[in-house]
């Protein structure tokens, strides 16, 4: 890794995971769906203006646009809705980040089925071990007699499912349907527009668009839009130009410890003994999925 690549990687990890902290700052001023609507509506407007100014906007047809909009709804709308709903139920951001970190494990295990390639056994085992680690933490913290607690700790699994499906759709397009691929900026516009359109419904009917536009909330929205949504994505694509996709994807595994450190600094969240045990188990699952196991050839006996 060059010095520039290291700077990009550190910047990406910090900006991406600061989204959990930013969301926790913003939720006291509005509801989860209203926060998402304003964030993605403003982001879509910024991207649209950029595309118009650069003369890069064009309509690819419903087949292409619809597929990318579906990916956006899953990867942004459903994923972040589940995260915000969990945070709104006072689940620690570090724990939410840990549950969401199962997504690369799940994508790695199921991607072979999507593109018609065999999935190594160690990836399935790694996924199972990773889920076991998360289960240790969730069950130790969850109050099964309190419905809100059960909902709060289980809803992040919806994030894992949604972004895994979105990643598999994206993976299939990259491998088997290259004609469906769009330029990154145009793809992101359609994803953000779809997310804004989907979240407008629950934001209106469930939260009545209620938001207290006080300075802390305004600063939080600016950070989420410019630093998290645009800044982290820009750094990710810069990294992809210099490093392989698997190496860049491995940076997402740093999410839980970095987020836990951030929430300790900003909110005073502390780890419990079972959290540490669960983290170690998840780490074991991650390491197992990253192993490159060589097949052993058994020599034939001569007759």
In the chain, domain spans:
3-97+142-256
Helix, strand, coil content of the chain in percent (nearest 5): 80, 0, 20
Q: Which one, of 157, 165, 162, lies nearest residue 113 by Cα?
A: 165
The Cα–Cα gap between 174 and 94 comes to 32
How high is the pLDDT of residue 302?
A: 41
CB 152 within 8 A of CB 138: no
The Cα–Cα gap between 133 and 183 comes to 38
Q: Which one, of 155, 137, 66, lies nearest residue 98 by Cα?
A: 137
- If one counts every other C-beta atom within 10 angstroms of the C-beta of residue 242, the result is 14
28 has pLDDT over 90: yes
For residue 170, give both structure tokens: 């994206």
Sign of CA dihedral 36, 227, 130, 261: negative
The Cα–Cα gap between 103 and 159 comes to 8
The torsion angles phi and psi of 211, rounded to 5 degrees, stand at -150, 135
The Cα–Cα gap between 221 and 226 comes to 8
The Cα–Cα gap between 32 and 81 comes to 7
Q: 55: phi > 0 → left, psi -120 to 50 → alpha, else beta; which?
A: left
Q: Which one, of 16, 12, 15, 37, lies nearest residue 26 by Cα?
A: 37
List, in sequence order, every residue forming a beta bridge with 11; answer none if it has no partner: none
How high is the pLDDT of residue 239?
A: 86
Sign of CA dihedral 71, 162, 123, 291: positive
* 42-56, 121-135, 232-246, range with greatest mean pLDDT: 42-56
List, in sequence order, every residue forming a beta bridge with 30; answer none if it has no partner: 211
179 has pLDDT over 90: no
Q: State the Cα torsion 31-268-224-130 to the nearest 10°.
A: -90
Alpha carbons within 13 angstroms on the beta-carbon side of residue 41 total 13
How high is the pLDDT of residue 299?
A: 44
How high is the pLDDT of residue 206?
A: 95
67 has pLDDT over 50: yes
The Cα–Cα gap between 49 and 59 comes to 15
Average pLDDT, integer, range 272-286:
87
**Residue 301 pLDDT grade (very low, low, confident, very high; cuts 50, 70, 90):** very low
The DSSP letter of residue 228 is I
CB 107 within 8 A of CB 250: no
- Residue range 186-238, pLDDT digits in tens: 999 999 999 999 999 999 999 999 999 999 999 999 999 999 999 998 898 88
CB 156 within 8 A of CB 256: no
303 has pLDDT over 50: no
Find the radius of gyration of the CA atoms of the chain. Answer: 20
């Amino acid at each position: 890794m060059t010095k520039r690549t290291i700077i990009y990687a550190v910047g990406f990890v910090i900006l991406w995971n600061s989204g959990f902290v930013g969301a926790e700052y913003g939720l006291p001023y509005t509801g989860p769906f209203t926060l998402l609507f304003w964030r993605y509506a403003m982001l879509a407007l910024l991207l649209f203006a950029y595309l118009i100014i650069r003369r890069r906007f064009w309509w690819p047809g419903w087949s292409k646009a619809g597929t990318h909009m579906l990916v956006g709804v899953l990867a942004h709308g459903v994923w972040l809705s589940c995260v915000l709903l969990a945070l709104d139920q006072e689940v620690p951001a570090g724990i939410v980040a840990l549950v969401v970190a199962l997504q690369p494990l799940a994508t790695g295990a199921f991607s072979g089925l999507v593109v018609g390639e065999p999935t190594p056994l160690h990836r399935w085992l790694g996924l199972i071990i990773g889920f076991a680690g998360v289960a240790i933490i969730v069950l130790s913290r969850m109050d099964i007699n309190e419905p809100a607690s059960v909902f709060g700790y289980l809803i992040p699994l919806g994030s894992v499912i949604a972004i895994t499906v979105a990643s598999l759709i994206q993976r299939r397009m990259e491998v088997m349907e290259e004609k469906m691929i769009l330029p990154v900026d145009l793809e992101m516009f359609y994803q953000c527009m779809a997310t804004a359109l989907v979240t407008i419904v629950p934001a209106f009917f469930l939260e009545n668009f209620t938001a207290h536009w006080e300075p802390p909330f305004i600063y939080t929205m600016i950070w989420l839009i410019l630093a998290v949504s645009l800044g982290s994505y820009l750094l990710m694509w810069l990294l992809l130009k210099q490093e392989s996709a698997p190496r860049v994807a491995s940076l997402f595994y740093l999410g839980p410890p970095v987020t836990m450190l951030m929430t300790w600094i900003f909110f005073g969240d502390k780890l419990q003994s079972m959290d540490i045990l669960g983290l170690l188990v998840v780490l074991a699952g991650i390491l197992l999925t990253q192993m490159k196991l060589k097949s052993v050839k058994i020599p034939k006996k001569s007759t």
